[in-house]
């Protein structure tokens, strides 16, 4: 199976990145000489994704202008949440309107996606292809550059994702889903956490564990630290 569609989440206000994000949308912050958004687009393209949609809200014109100036091997479209931000769940549901029943990647651009992740994404696709269930890439919180992260999930021997008191795994910001996970939900503001919790209850949410160093631009403090390093 090849997944040819993807969504990059770019609508957020980036409040923890202020003062930078007062004038620059978070996806356009630069790390290692490349914006987070361009890095995410190129990573999806390297996986064979042909159509990429970016949902936007905060400073959306700057993202649209950036995409117009660039040339990518994939077709990239910007979708604007004009009236109000739709949160992660509503944003994905809105951006994926034309995807029908096809599976697609969803990426958070504030993770620094590197070539070393590629094999794990291939494994993510293999698991989705075999099980036909939404699948997420997780990582041990011990591998996070930012030590402030609490765990989000655990994983059982069947690769089913659990929510427990002592969660040891972090969501990396990568998942494969299709629109069926939203069931009869309408396009409005809601979090993907609501969808995940429903899937967890029915043992329908799967995960694999990454072995990479998790580098996520979570705050202005982390951004400053990372800009003093060369990320490999």
Give the domain range for residue 197.
Answer: 5-226
231: in domain: no
Q: Quote the number of domains for the chain.
A: 1
11: in domain: yes
Taking Cα atoms as reference points, which of 144, 142, 149, 158 lies closest to residue 205? 158
232: in domain: no
198: in domain: yes
* Model pLDDT for residues 80-114, shown as the tens digit of each residue: 998 899 999 999 999 999 898 899 999 999 999 99
The CATH number covering residue 67 comes to: 3.90.550.10
Q: From CA 70, how far away is CA 26, in angstroms rounded? A: 18
Q: The whole model's pTM is what?
A: 0.93
Q: Which of helix, strand or coil describes residue 136? A: strand
| Cα atoms in the Cβ-side hemisphere of radius 13 Å centred on 122 | 7
Q: From CA 176, how far away is CA 121, in angstroms rounded? A: 10
* Model pLDDT for residues 193-210, shown as the tens digit of each residue: 999 999 999 999 999 999
């Amino acid at each position: 199976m090849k997944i040819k569609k993807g969504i990059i989440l770019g609508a957020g206000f980036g409040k923890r990145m202020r003062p930078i994000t007062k004038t620059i949308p978070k996806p356009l912050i630069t790390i290692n000489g490349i914006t987070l958004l361009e890095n995410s687009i190129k990573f999806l393209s390297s996986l064979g994704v042909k159509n990429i949609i970016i949902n936007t809200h905060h400073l959306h014109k700057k993202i649209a202008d950036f995409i117009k100036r660039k040339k990518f091997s994939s077709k990239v479209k910007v979708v604007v949440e004009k009236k109000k931000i739709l949160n992660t769940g509503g944003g994905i549901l809105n951006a994926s309107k034309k995807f029908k029943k096809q599976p697609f990647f969803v990426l958070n651009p504030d993770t620094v996606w590197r070539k070393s992740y590629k094999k794990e994404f291939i494994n993510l696709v293999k698991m989705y292809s075999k099980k036909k269930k939404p699948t997420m890439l997780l990582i041990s919180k011990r591998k996070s550059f930012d030590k402030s992260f609490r765990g989000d999930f655990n994983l059982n021997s069947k690769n089913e994702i659990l929510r427990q008191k002592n969660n040891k795994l972090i969501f990396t910001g990568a998942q494969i889903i299709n629109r069926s996970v939203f069931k009869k939900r309408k396009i409005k503001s809601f979090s993907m956490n609501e969808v995940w919790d429903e899937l967890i209850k029915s043992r329908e949410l799967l995960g694999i564990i990454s072995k990479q160093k998790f580098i996520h631009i979570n705050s202005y403090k982390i951004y400053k630290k990372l800009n003093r390093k060369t990320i490999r």
